[in-house]
Structure 1
Amino acid sequence: MEDIAAALSPAGLLGQLPFLLLIAAILSARVDRTRRLVATAAAVGLIHALAVQGSPVAALWWGLLLGAALLVIGRGVVADTRSRFSEEEEGMLRGALSSLPRSRARHLLDQGFWLNGSEGDVLVREDEPVSHLYYLAQGQAQVMSHGRRIATCGAGELIGEVAILSGDQATATVVLDSPARFWCAPAAVLQPYLLTHEDVRHALEQGFAVSIKNKLRQSNERIAGAGGAVTEPAGVNQV
């Protein structure tokens, strides 16, 4: 009982807090958040070692961990500061890549390239592998399934997102409805890249989820407007 009482005392809870923060750091999918949690855990551990335990050895190790965490955070801040983006890329940072640090977003964008498209250009073909992931910065595209228009993609949306991750064939065709400007990354480059950069993959998945919701909403609105039942359209989430 004395051990339990000691663990639940203010000093005991302070001593346990660093380990809870380290567990949270391990579970975090964002690299920048992981680093901040580790630094916070080390700072709390250092305070406990000095003020409560009076242990120079524990203080040394917590201090070394804090210094290492701050060094890594500092390097990230410098890398973010040095990263440069065009106006179009800044749009991606505010949208699909909003959860990525700037340096990591710069690294991802370097895996693809920017292109101009013309009305009628086909980006994705139904029942064929998706060869590229697209981000539409300007312009508009139609999403067609079995010859019917089921949704529209506008500026700020991703195209080919889920199929790129799953490797499945597209179940809808995407055709530019106007002159467009877009970023694209080949699936052959992006798929292995995402396997080795989990934080980037997680950030893209968040952007994918928003894009898919928009497509489903547009498709349901179109079906409802035509007097049909509102259902999840087959294939929209694979475009």
Structure 2
Amino acid sequence: MAGRNPVRELLRSGRPIQRLWVQEGERSGSMSELVALARRQGAVVQAVPRARLDELSAGVVHQGVVAAVTPFPVLELEQLLELVGREEERGRWPLLLFLDGIQDPQNLGACIRVAAGAGATAVVFADRRTAPLTAAVSKAAAGTDAHIPLVRVKNLAQAISRLQQEEGITVYAAESGGGRPYTEALWQGPVGIIIGSEGTGVHELVRKRADGTVSIPLAGPVESLNAATAAAVLLFEAVRQRGQAAMKRH
């Protein structure tokens, strides 16, 4: 993992770091903070030339710091079902983000960051048609991938069906040219949102499993929003409606 913000979020999450490489001669305040955090967690800290960081980061902008971490702790469908069940036992409404065909690492990372910011329960994506979880994804997520469960499934449509049947999740698919306006949808209760790629949208087999479709009305000469922007609009509408419901209960 490379970059100061992603590494800082990683360290704060408690995810194990084996080694932290920092640029020789770099002693700024933020770098000193990262070094101190890493040492407190028992990581080896090593100062190396910038050229070595360029090699380690594989082209990702590193800002003078690269961390060696354990592989992404990706969950499977059965673990997601257990996680959703625990949320409901605690009296919380699960909020899931399903990603269908997001192949751009920057967009995938941005979607993860948005979901983490909205307090979503998990981000779910298919084995195929999804960008691999690389350092570029973590960089785009600003390290927030360490704060939210990521779930990889073999078949997204089948996973959605099981969540609907076993956990009562209501699932909406985002569409750029159809569906009811997103503000008219009910986002209270256990809810999932399907976001497709900007080019192809949600695949037909996946869309058919949704309980309904929602759209984001656009005022300008733009046909659609990118995946992360659409996810942000819809997730935070869910946050808004849930907040209002919580206020009424109290």
Measured against the shorter chain, the TM-score band is under 0.3
Normalised to the residue count of structure 2, the TM-score between the two structures is 0.27
Q: More helix by proportion, 1 or 2? A: 1
Which structure has the higher relative contact order (CA within 8 Å, separation 6+)? 2
Query: What is the TM-score with the length of structure 1 in the denominator?
Result: 0.27
Bigger Rg, which one = 1
